[in-house]
Copies of this chain bind each other. A is one copy, B any other.
Amino acid sequence: MTHAPLSQVKRGKVYGIGLGPGDPELMTLKAARLIREASVIAYPTLAGGASFARSIAAEFIAQGTREIVMDVPMTVARGPAQHAYDQGAARIAEALEAGQDVVVLCEGDPFFYGSFMYLFARLRSDFQVEIVPGVTSVTACAAVAQLPLVARNEVMTVLPAPLEDASLRDKIAGSDTVIVMKLGRHFKRVRALIDTAGLTEKSVYIERATGANEVVKPLKDAPETAPYFSMILIVKGADPWL
């Protein structure tokens, strides 16, 4: 009878957990369970601010859970942020090597514009990774705006607002339903493009869907400036009567 050497601890597993759009009750049962059971959680904070992800998950985090916080600087150059993910991945890897599972908290869904991808890229070749999908801000916005997204054979396109005018214009024209995300400082420009396309009446502006301070307005009544966590839904069709 042989024994594995004591140093061969079974490696832990990384979970990338989607927390949904903001309302903690829109977390999945699986996400809530994994967070409650976790002995180690990890999440990014932006430029030293509070973590939105942690705030969604807060009520499920048990006393004594170890927290690996990755402070990601907001710079135009990518180097400093990449360095923060390198360091975070190294600390997560250490816990995994010691046999602990690590639950990484992700706003929305981990694979939909999520920073979890940066950790996934660093850890996937050495460790077992499981992704728990979450409700995205896209369907959350449609829900709070009471605006069906797509029906039957309609096409839906998701566009980040920082794209160039020509690209935004073409893609807005070529789709039945368009979601423009990451508005922030691009809001005024995107709004003008939508107006020129004659689509303002078919557009809704939403900030922080399902979260505290949610804002839902027809685009024509939207405020002058928009935060990063805001989007415009343009729904040309989605009429289930026809």
Residues of A within 8 A of B (CB): 18, 20-21, 23-30, 32-33, 109-114, 117-118, 120-121, 124, 129, 131-136, 139-140, 142-144, 146-160, 162-163, 167, 170-171, 174-175, 210, 238-241
Contacts and interface: CB of A to CB of B under 8 A. Distances in A.
A11 to B, nearest CB: 17
A78 to B, nearest CB: 8
A131 B142 contact: yes
A216 to B, nearest CB: 12
Contact of A27 (B24, B29, B157): B29
B153 A18 contact: no
B132 A134 contact: no
B157 A157 contact: yes
Contacts of A26: 28-30, 132-133
A29 B30 contact: no
B113 A151 contact: yes
Contacts of A20: 28
Given A111-B139, A136-B136, A157 B160 contact: no
A21 B133 contact: yes
B30 A28 contact: no
B139 A143 contact: no
Given A33-B25, A135-B135, A111 B158 contact: no
9 A-B pairs with least C-beta separation: A131-B143, A133-B139, A25-B30, A117-B240, A133-B143, A109-B139, A153-B160, A111-B142, A156-B158
A62 B28 CA distance: 20
A171 B132 CA distance: 28
Given A139-B109, A155-B160, A25 B25 contact: no
Contacts of A147: 111
A21 to B, nearest CB: 7
A140 B146 contact: no
B146 A124 contact: yes
